[in-house]
Copies of this chain bind each other. A is one copy, B any other.
Amino acid sequence: MLTTVLRLGFVQLRVLDLSAALVHYRDHMGLDLVNVEGGRAYLKAYDEFDRHSVVLREADTVGIDIMAFKLVSDQAVRDMIPELEKRGVTFEFIEKGEQPGVGERLRVHMPTGHQFDFYSEMALSDDGPMVKNPELWRNEPKGMRIVRYDHCALLGDEIDASAEILIGILGFSIAERVLDPEGNNIALFLSCSNKAHDVAFLKAPVKGKLHHASFLVESWSDIGHAANLMARRDIKIDIGPTRHGITRGQTIYFFDPSGNRNETFAGGYHFYPDNPTRVWTIDNFGKGLFYYEQEVVESFVGVYT
């Protein structure tokens, strides 16, 4: 089944203090601020064409509001409806313009308690990558030199059901899975692209939680640079620089001022839908999480927003 998803489009996160969040996401991470309106800040990375990929909403709670995917066409969005109805999955439409520059979105209430939005229209940024005799970049990447918003890992209970929607309706593939001794999935890494994952579900007896929002950097060198900058600017590193066994990504985890976990991510293999699914058993989960440490770090698993 061919996926109709163009890409993971944007994430909307809740932050306690928008000003402090902008210092983090704009000044430290180096995202470009597009605009602030209605209590939300819109940002993008230097290598993204669309208007925005990160939305920060000031709120009294932290965590994730929306994980949003851009589909190839409005028809592809509409084609989801009978399939959702067949499965008894709740959905609604979010009107065009609820976010500046974004068309109508189909909001799906996922069994894990997350809101996934699907849309086909977003305005192009007027500050995206150059297209006429393009330079590498308009301006040298700054801060942590984030290339793009990359993926999210989400915590919830019904991870198989959420995954089935993405797989059965939209053609996602399972790149990797982690099994408990009974053979149940306790973590699923799903791809709708040539990335090792676009979204991961981690099983936990909660609804709608965020484990981390991840951002691509170019290389292990830039992972090192990001670590230097985090330490220099007193950004709390959760773990890293290290490497995942799962996805093979090189990584640092750290927190935004509201306590949402972020990741800078590099490397990771190139995935194709016909690749065999990589399977991890629970006794090797430590190595899967952190290939160098080879152990499950409790604070990493237990802390989320």
Contact = CB atoms under 8 A, between A and B. Distances in A.
A148 interface: yes
24 contacts: A2-B3, A6-B272, A6-B274, A47-B270, A49-B274, A49-B275, A129-B269, A131-B278, A131-B279, A133-B280, A133-B281, A133-B287, A134-B245, A135-B245, A137-B232, A140-B232, A147-B270, A193-B194, A194-B194, A194-B195, A219-B220, A220-B224, A231-B287, A241-B292
A248 interface: yes
A114 B49 CA distance: 34
What size tier do the contact residues of chain A reach? 35 or more
Given A136-B228, A292-B231, A70 B278 contact: no
A72 B1 CA distance: 8
Contacts of A218: 267
Interface string A55-92: 00000000000000010100000000000000000000
B241 A228 contact: no
Given A2-B4, A279-B132, A243 B228 contact: yes
A224 B250 contact: yes
Nearest to A120: B274
A279 B133 CA distance: 6
A230 interface: yes
Contacts of A294: 231, 237
B232 A284 contact: no
Contact of A136 (B137, B220, B232, B274): B232
Contacts of A231: 135-136, 243, 287, 291-292, 294
A242 interface: yes
Among A4, A147, A194, A241: residue with most chain B CB under 10 A: A241
A228 B248 CA distance: 10
Interface in A280-305: 280-281, 284, 287-288, 291-294
Contacts of A229: 140
Contact of A248 (B136, B243, B248, B250): B136
A42 B294 CA distance: 32
Nearest to A277: B131
Interface in A2-27: 2-4, 6-7
B243 A134 contact: no
Contacts of A230: 292
A283 to B, nearest CB: 8
Nearest to A137: B232
